[in-house]
Amino acid sequence: MTGVELKNTQPKGTQLTDVGAVVTGGGNGIGAAIARRLGAAGARVVVNDLDAGAAEAVAAEISGIAVPGDAASEAGVTALIAEAGAHLGGIDLYVANAGVAVSGGPEALESDWDLSWQVNVMAHVRAARELVPGWLERGRGHLLTTVSAAGLLSMLGSAPYSVTKHAALAFGEWMSATYGDRGITTQCLCPLGVRTNMLDDSGSEGRAILAGDAITPEEVADAVIAGLADGRFLILPHPQVADYYAARAADTDAWLAGMRRLQAKVFGTQEQA
């Protein structure tokens, strides 16, 4: 174990030196950017991705280790954590970044709902199941989950994504409330639009909603490094999300009316009376 404490340190100092970190979905986009920033800060990084070639390419850039595979299924998470832990001598920071987005509402296929649930929620639960006992025993550990602003707000056009990201946020909140005074830090990364393949694949409607405020994966990674330094629960690469979240809570009916107007504008549907 490294004995490195991530909280309450300076973001660009040596606090990440020798930290053993795992980044899922690390072959592309946000995950790759986070892996690179962790590696540049001195962490020892295991890069996980279903795309073995992509994981190996990022790992090679940062002198890390590629452990390709499924970071969502029970067997896949168990195997990943066992192999990564053996390579690193213990996992200090687990970045549960892998995610999927499928379109549709209640009519979406059962398989799409199930995939969303497994990757966007149960991957986090299964990682915690494996990691928490050891972290409690040594008195420290760090779980960072990529939730998306959809977990705080919603995502028009994708009920599976919205619902499962809300669940991912709820699990992160539960983890922080339950283990935050026992040495385990839990944080949720909640960006809006990010210039990744997921945004490209969201279609014209998704791009109409998100592209205007889209930032680069590298900007998200910068926010992550700053967030790791101060331990804040919500890491918001788009600061305006905090205002949207507050408005949603303060006057939910007004917020929903605004979402219906956006729905009508983007999707061409009629606002309900």
Residue 86 neighbours by CB under 8 Å, 6+ apart: none
Distance of CA 199 to the CA centre of its chain: 15
Selecting among 94, 161, 179, 245, the annotated active-site residue is 161
Active site residue 94: no
When computed from its CA atoms, the radius of gyration of the chain, rounded to whole angstroms, is 18
Q: Could you tell me if 67 and 47 are in contact, meaning their C-beta atoms sit under 8 angstroms apart? A: yes
| Four-CA torsion 227, 232, 234, 238, nearest 10 degrees | -50
| Four-CA torsion 197, 199, 201, 207, nearest 10 degrees | -150
Partners of residue 184 on adjacent β-strands: 141
Furthest-apart CA atoms within the chain: distance in Å? 59
Give me the active site residues, please.
161
